[in-house]
Amino acid sequence: MSFQKTILVTGASKGIGRSIAIEAAKENYNVVIHYGQDKTGALQTLDEILTLGKTGRILSFDIANRAECKKILEEDLNQYGPYYGIVLNAGIACDNAFPALEEDEWDKVLQTNLGGFYNVLKPLVLPMIRTRQPGRIITLSSVSGMVGNRGQVNYSASKAGIIGATKALALELAKRNITVNCVAPGIIETQMTNNLEVEIETIVPLRRMGQPKEVAAAVLFLLSENASYITRQVIAVNGGLV
């Protein structure tokens, strides 16, 4: 890179988000580490980045809270300027069989996962456009958003919505030289899959869980200049699951 580019990674306090943030720092991006509640985890992510001799900073806001997103992000923009890249990784799951799915379980997942797409990107896209420079937006969906999954009607709906929103936004921003793509992980070894009760070897063709760094590798490619002709795509990182 001829100059250091800044990227925002939401949900970077652990798991896939932390891996993306650290791998991005290794590629000399200036990383803005977002967290919602896990301040300790975010500080650990930042510490790993600083230990590498790289740069980063931390932002905290609730991606489901539109006013808070706008306030915090606009303050950061005013101080540091627009981002080159945005990685929308933060999200939640509240799994339940649909007949037992409570209203708040539906609302919370949709407002966080899909609402967060709007809440985070709305304050950031126009400043990106105004730079008249190339940019990258990468969303994180899921295999559940591609094919659905029992017990995850709410989560699958939110992640499928992210795919649709990603593809539509890609059309709007292509003429601005801002690419918009989606990475859809399968079963990845993180805290969210610690208590997963499935036989991995029977359902995943590669016979293992994926690693956060393998998802991060796809994201880092899409952030790179080598991915400048790739937009409106969904890249599945799932071991051949679908």
Q: Which domain holds residue 189?
A: 6-237
Residue 242 lies in a domain: no
Among candidate residues 85, 72, 66, the one with its CA nearest the CA of residue 20: 85
What pLDDT is stored for residue 1 in this prediction? 42
* pLDDT lower than 70: segments of the chain: 1-2, 192-197
pTM: 0.96
Give the distance, in angstroms, between the CA of residue 196 and the centroid of all CA atoms in the same chain: 22
pLDDT of residue 201: 85
The predicted structure's pLDDT at residue 190: 85
User: 35 with 58: CB under 8 angstroms?
Assistant: yes
For residue 63, tell me if it sits in a domain: yes
Query: How buried is 202 (Cβ within 10 angstroms: 0-12 exposed, 13-18 middle, 19+ buried)?
Result: exposed
Report how many domains make up the chain: 1
pLDDT at residue 199, rounded to an integer:
83
- Structure tokens given for 147: 């094919």
Whether residue 90 lies inside any domain: the answer is yes
1 domain residue, yes or no:
no
Contact 84, 5 (CB under 8 A): yes
Q: Is 84 a catalytic residue?
A: no
54-89: b or e for each residue (b if 16 or more CB lie within 10 Å)? Answer: bebebbebbbbbbeebeebbeebbeeeebbbbbbbb
- Return the CATH number at 49: 3.40.50.720
Catalytic residue among 29, 35, 83, 155: 155
3 state SS of 237: strand
At 58, list the tokens.
Answer: 């931390």
